[in-house]
Amino acid sequence: MAWHVLPRHEMIGNTEPVTRPTVLVVDDENGPREAFRLVLEDHFNVLTAESGSAALDVLRENRVDVVTLDLMMPFLSGVETLKRIRELDPDVEVVIVSALPQRDVTSQCVQLRAFDILAKPFSRVEILSAATRASTRRNDRRRAQGSIG
C-alpha cells in the first residue's frame, strides 16, 4: 500500500496552526493518481491509494475530508468502494472520476451521495474546484454540527 502524506498543519505568521483539509486520491493507475496529487498538494494534505481496499484502509487510519474516486478499478469497483466508504464515514465528501460515466452507474453514485462526478479528461481547474467545493461543504457541515450540540 503506497500513500503520500503532506503535513496537516501550517503555521501562518505567529498565529495558531491552520488545519489543511485532507484529500484521498483513489485510482488504480499511477498517472492519474500522481496528476491529482500534483494539482492538489499546494492546497490540501494529499493521501493516495491504488485500490478500493487500500482506500478503505487509509480511511480507517486517517481523518479524510474529501475522496476522489475512480469508478473503473479492478477487484473492488468504484461503486462498491463508495458503498463501503459510506459505511466507514457517512459524511466524507466523494468526487467520482470516470472516463466513461454510464447513466446507471452515475445514478447509483448520486444515490450514495457522491458530491460530484468528473468526466475524464478534466482540467486542473476542474479538479481543484471540485476538491475545494467538497472540502468547504464538509467543513460547513462540521461547523453546523458543532454549533448544534
Which band of pLDDT confidence, cut at 50, 70 and 90, is reported for residue 6? very low
pLDDT tens digits, 74-84:
899 899 999 99
Residues across the chain: 149
Q: What is the dihedral of CA 32, 33, 36, 38, to 10 degrees?
A: -110
Q: Does the CA dihedral 128-95-32-27 come out positive or negative?
A: positive
Give CA–CA dist 10/102, Å, rounded.
Answer: 40
Going 45 to 12 to 146 to 128, the CA torsion angle's sign is negative
Select 19-140's CATH number: 3.40.50.1970, 3.40.50.2300, 3.40.640.10, 3.40.50.720.
Answer: 3.40.50.2300
What element of type H or E holds 38? helix 30-40
- For 13-34, write each residue's pLDDT tens digit: 445 455 899 999 999 999 999 9
